Amino acid sequence: MVFSEELIKKLKSAKTVSVLTGAGVSAESGVPTFRDPGGIWEKFRPEQLANFEAFMADPDFVWSWYQHRREIMRNVTPNQGHYALAEMEKIFPDFNLITQNIDNLHRRAGSRKVTELHGNIERNYCIKCRKDFNDIDLTQKKVLKCECGGLIRPDVVWFGEMLPYNALKFAEECARSCQVFFTIGTSAEVYPAALLPLIAKQYDAYVVEINTRPTAISMDVDEVIEGKSGEILKELTDIIKKELNK
């Protein structure tokens, strides 16, 4: 793979680099994406299941869906893309990884500074008293109840719900202040996360998209690198390390 001279030049001098990741980054680990054809989301659209009304209408069903996905996510391992991003954190003085993913794979690959915009599937909480329930038995297919009687739900952000305030504010600041911004493996169809690359562009960052196919924002970024993020990130990190003697 040949990377543009412009990108290598920008990265050689960059102090502040921000990255937004989406489901495509975990695809090479075996975690299904939301909007690619042939995935588990073809039967139930994210908008149908990932919302509070769906949970209240049939809590056992939505809970068992999350247990199923939790099982998939626990049984996969990070791929070379996750590891490359963990390495980048060590290369750039100010490197911020913002993810829409709930699968924990960035942390499992060694990334320390991870901002999660849509929560984390490993955590759960009671909808009535907000008590945390984080060690959940995967065989438990019916929704659990708290001592207070409230239903326990996954600590993820569903449609119509606010993103965690501090995480979103920090992500916006990262978009405004970086010199290079990568948007990787996301269709950029879900807001407000999809605005981050556009904010970065507005604030003069060099915005690079890595994706297997064009997205809603491909026309708005400075550079599109088409292909699998695992392969591309590994190669790119190797080049940066060589160029910067790291």
Distance, CA of 61 to CA of 49 (rounded, Å): 9
Which stretch, 51-59, 140-148, 176-184, 238-246, contacts Zn ion (CB under 5 A)? 140-148
Which stretch, 11-19, 123-131, 178-186, 226-234, contacts Zn ion (CB under 5 A)? 123-131
Q: Is the dihedral of CA 103, 107, 108, 111 positive or negative?
A: positive
Three-state DSSP class for residue 4: coil
For the CB of residue 140, give the shortest distance to ligand BJW in the complex, in Å: 18
From 163, 173, 158, 165, select the one nearest 46 (Cα to Cα). 158
Which residue number, 57 or 148, has a Cβ lying nearer to Zn ion? Answer: 148
Rg (C-alpha) for the chain, rounded Å, is: 18
One character per residue 71-110, x = contact with ligand BJW (rule: CB under 6 A): -----------------------------x-x--------
Residue with tokens 């049984």: 75
Q: Does 234 bind ligand BJW (CB under 6 A)?
A: no
Whether residue 239 contacts residue 3, with contact meaning beta carbons closer than 8 Å, is answered with yes
For the CB of residue 213, give the shortest distance to ligand BJW in the complex, in Å: 4
Which residue number, 36 or 172, has a Cβ lying nearer to ligand BJW? Answer: 36
Distance, CA of 212 to CA of 197 (rounded, Å): 17
Q: Does 156 bind ligand BJW (CB under 6 A)?
A: yes
The entry of ligand BJW, Zn ion, none that residue 195 binds, CB within 5 to 8 Å by partner kind: none
The 3 state secondary structure assigned to 151-214 is EEEEEECCCCCCCCHHHHHHHHHHHHHCCEEEEECCCCCCCCCCHHHHHHHHCCCEEEEEECCC
One character per residue 18-57, x = contact with ligand BJW (rule: CB under 6 A): ----xxx--xx----xxxx---------x---x-------
Sites of contact with Zn ion (CB under 5 A): 126, 128-129, 131, 146, 148, 150
